Amino acid sequence: MKKSISCKVIITLLAINLLSGCRRLFDEPSIQSNPNAVTDVDVSTLLAGTLLGVSFLHEDTDVRIASMWAGELNGLSRAHQGFAQYIVSSQSFMWSPLYPVAGQARLIQTKADAVGDKWTKGVGQVLEALVIAKVTDLYGDVPYSQAFDDVAYPTPVFDKQTDVYAALHTTLDNAIQNLSASSGLAFNTQDFIYKGDVAKWRAAANTLKARLYLHTGEYAKAVASASSGINSTAGDALIPHGTSLGVDINQNYDFFRVNRAGDTGFDGAYLPVLLRSRIGSANTKTDETAIYNHYIKVGITATGALDPNTTDGAFTANSPHPILTYYENQLILAEAQARLGVSDKALAALNTVRSALANGYVNGKTISGTGRKYDAYTLDDFGPAGLANLTKLATVQTALLYEIISQRFILFLMQYEAFNDYRRLAKAVPVVQLPIPLYTGSQRPQRFIYPQGEINTNLNVPKPLPDQFTRVAVF
């Protein structure tokens, strides 16, 4: 890995060379100051640049590939057509800016320690965990314990994925402790996610812990963490965007509408199939016409094409993009409680999501009131003849899980967590899965391939090299 994970990565390079249209999301002159002495940059400026990097990593090509491999999106042309057919190589992926951004998050903590600033250190720990969680979820075993000292560890070891998860929980526990401190330095002017709201960062850390516990099937722990997690839509961690091309636009808009129009779309994907099955069905408590139209617009790139809605829906230039949300938190609670057999609490959590959806809220935007219906469910709705048990599953538990999983799939569009679900649900007990078809072949993709740059420079890369169909330990 060598210099690619140095804590001395220049913020200016992150902001200008790596972040494309997101590069001036936080238009703060101090980010450009003193570019040749980043070790001397103040911690608040470092925080702004790192937030920018973390934001980019939640809207990048890796997220699009994960969305395609989850069946939410389809690749229709050029490289993305190959990605959708699960054709990738070690040249398809890279760990820059993943590890440089994580290194900056670690440097935030070092600098915060120097001035006794627990709040900013806690945010740095959450940002580090967000990046490393993405790396290990997509790649499996990855460097972490030796990842941020390129002098002592120029070729860091690859930690087992289960060990990385354990370390992430420790990082997040420390973050929660620091974010619970009675005092710290204000960082609101550099924080474009939560405007310096320490309580919101603490809740986000708990939601991220709950996500990781759900991945590993530790459902009681997932419930405990989610119970202290994001408790309203006002607590959503959303990336703000504007309408200036090449400055602050949503990266999905930039890809879908500006630079690669027609390369991807919903034709042949499972998402529109699932949404249509929930429109005009026997389930009279649910109508998802509005969210279908929020996501999908017919005929932008070609007559009849099912395109991402870049006109007046989810993917306009100024659409906020989610990192962690109230919906995810409540659906973690819902699924974990359902798997624990506590159906009434699972249903209550699901109904909180439906209540907010009934008001039209989706990731910082309000969808149309036409075709928007999410009446509260009762447990009877999931019985053998229940209106929400259209697939005629045998038990209330499995029918309720199917509904929760369906809602997660719909709400996780363009979030790599959908790909995590795609793999996780094959082993979660009881096994309840959506009938997502393969785009090609007979094998489901299970992971990203280690980048060629890492293979060339780090002798610790696992051998034999796993391909894209080899499972990672957690999933």
pLDDT at 46 over 50: yes
pLDDT at 78 over 50: yes
In a domain, 174, yes or no: yes
Helices then strands, each counted (H, E), the chain: 17, 10
CA distances from 333 to 3, 227, 259 (A): 40, 8, 39
In a domain, 474, yes or no: no
Residues 277 and 169 in one domain: no
Which residue range(s) make up the domain with 308?
197-259+270-437
Q: Which residue has the higher pLDDT, 26 or 112?
A: 112
In a domain, 264, yes or no: no
Residues 161 and 232 in one domain: no
Q: Which of 10-14, 54-58, 137-141 has the lowest mean pLDDT?
A: 10-14
In a domain, 4, yes or no: yes
Confidence of residue 125 (pLDDT cuts 50, 70, 90): very high
pLDDT digits (tens, 9 = 90+) for 259-291: 999 999 999 999 999 999 999 999 999 999 999
In a domain, 191, yes or no: no
Identify the pLDDT of residue 30: 36
Residues 370 and 455 in one domain: no
Residues 159 and 236 in one domain: no
pLDDT digits (tens, 9 = 90+) for 379-393: 999 999 999 999 999
Residues 358 and 407 in one domain: yes
Residues 463 and 386 in one domain: no
Residues 167 and 276 in one domain: no
Q: Which residue has the higher pLDDT, 20 or 160?
A: 160
Identify the pLDDT of residue 44: 85
In a domain, 265, yes or no: no
Identify the pLDDT of residue 34: 30
Residues 205 and 149 in one domain: no
Residues 155 and 57 in one domain: yes
Q: Which residue has the higher pLDDT, 19 or 99?
A: 99
- Token pair recorded at residue 378: 């009762």
The type of residue at 410 is: I
Specify the number of domains making up the chain.
Answer: 2
Q: Which of 1-10, 56-65, 254-263, 455-464 has the lowest mean pLDDT?
A: 1-10
Residues 6+ positions from 137 with CB-CB distance below 8 Å = 215, 416, 420, 472, 474
* CATH code of 293's domain: 1.25.40.390
In a domain, 475, yes or no: no
Percent of the chain with pLDDT over 90: 90
Residues 99 and 218 in one domain: no
pLDDT at 42 over 50: yes
Residues 330 and 209 in one domain: yes
State the Cα–Cα distance between residues 426 and 421, nearest whole angstrom. Answer: 9
In a domain, 192, yes or no: no
Identify the pLDDT of residue 7: 34
Residues 242 and 280 in one domain: yes
Identify the pLDDT of residue 41: 80
pLDDT at 8 over 50: no
The whole model's pTM is what?
A: 0.93
